[in-house]
């Protein structure tokens, strides 16, 4: 595996100390990968400088950069925000599940959220964060100040999943708080009533937000390959059931497919981008979809 791919693997990143370092390495691995197949056509323009354009004031030209590159660049400032984004992370107890050899769904969501926030800040986008379980636990409004990334990363790193799930209710309450139009990214297993989720998603779109929904599952939740005997424990209620997985595998697979297809259709009907990920999947799968969405919005 090439070096840049190594840092896009969830298991590798989970061994790195500190969420800021995790985010940096994921982003660096992602950017390196953009210059290789299959990501031709994407570009990342970072925010510290942008090329001089007619009408810009000469006093803002960075002469040190000119001396190195023989090109004119001007420094960008906080009011030159490109895009406003709120990243919403499900921190309910069901997100704390991990099968053998995989990280938890919550860890995966946190690492992905941290990498996205880090990338957005580099692009001079305003970034905010919301965490929820039965309701909103934390809400940090979107800002573009570079130092704000530390608060976002600290919040992600200090959160432990708990309580039941109330995705529909929480998303509705978050929609009430986002005052300015922008991009909303949701990271969740979406284990809740689809109709309540649909109502909340409709509200985001009614408020003219663009929405990107990532459903994050564990690989075993997708294939149900638990072996001959298994004990299933509800992450939220603690109830346990001992059974032979093969006896319920078909009905489970059908129920999961119905659920995910309904969720996907719900998103499609509202012009919301939806993607199903699992916790063994490299982070660039989601980052490429985010970048494509951003470029589409920027037009």
**231-259 core/surface letters (b: 16 or more CB in 10 A; e: else):** eeeebbeeeeeeeebeeeeeeeeeeeeee
**Domain regions of the chain by residue span:** 49-78, 82-298
- For residue 156, give the nearest of 44, 253, 19, 279 by alpha carbon: 19
| Cα→Cα distances 85→99, 110, 127, Å | 31, 16, 5
In this prediction the pTM is 0.82
Distance CA 231, CA 244 (A): 9
Q: Which is more confident, 38 or 143?
A: 143
CATH superfamily of 82-298: von Willebrand factor, type A domain (3.40.50.410)
Query: How confident is the model at residue 296, as a pLDDT?
Result: 87
Distance CA 29, CA 66 (A): 28
Confidence band, pLDDT 50/70/90 cuts, at residue 19: very high
For residue 255, pLDDT over 50 is answered with yes
pLDDT tens digits along 152-205: 999 999 999 988 889 999 999 999 999 899 999 999 999 999 999 999 999 999
Query: How confident is the model at residue 205, as a pLDDT?
Result: 96
Query: How confident is the model at residue 71, as a pLDDT?
Result: 78
């Amino acid at each position: 595996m090439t070096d840049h791919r190594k840092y896009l693997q969830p298991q590798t990143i989970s061994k790195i100390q500190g969420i800021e370092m995790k985010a940096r390495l994921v982003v660096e691995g992602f950017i390196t990968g953009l210059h290789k197949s299959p990501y031709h056509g994407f570009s990342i323009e970072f925010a510290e400088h942008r090329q001089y354009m007619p009408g810009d004031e000469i006093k803002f030209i960075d002469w040190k950069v000119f001396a190195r590159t023989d090109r004119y660049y001007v420094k960008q400032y906080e009011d030159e925000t490109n895009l406003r984004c709120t990243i919403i992370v499900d921190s309910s107890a069901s997100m704390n599940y991990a099968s053998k050899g995989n990280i938890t769904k919550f860890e995966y969501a946190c690492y992905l959220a941290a990498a996205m926030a880090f990338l957005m800040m580099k692009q001079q986008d305003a970034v905010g964060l919301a965490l929820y379980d039965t309701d909103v636990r934390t809400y940090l409004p979107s800002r573009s100040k570079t130092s704000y990334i530390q608060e976002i990363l600290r919040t992600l790193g200090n959160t432990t999943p708990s309580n039941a799930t109330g995705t529909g209710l929480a998303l509705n309450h978050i929609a009430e708080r986002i005052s300015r139009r922008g991009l909303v990214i949701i990271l969740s297993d979406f284990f809740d009533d689809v109709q309540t989720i649909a109502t909340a998603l409709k509200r985001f779109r009614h408020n003219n937000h663009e929405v990107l929904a990532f459903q994050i599952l564990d690989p075993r939740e997708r294939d149900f390959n638990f072996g001959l005997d298994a004990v299933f424990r509800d992450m939220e209620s603690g109830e346990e059931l001992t059974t032979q997985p093969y006896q319920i595998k078909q009905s489970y697979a059908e129920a999961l497919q119905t659920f995910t297809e309904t969720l996907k259709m719900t998103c499609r009907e509202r012009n919301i981008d939806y993607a199903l990920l699992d916790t063994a999947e490299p982070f660039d799968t989601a980052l490429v979809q985010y970048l494509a969405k951003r470029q589409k919005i920027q037009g």
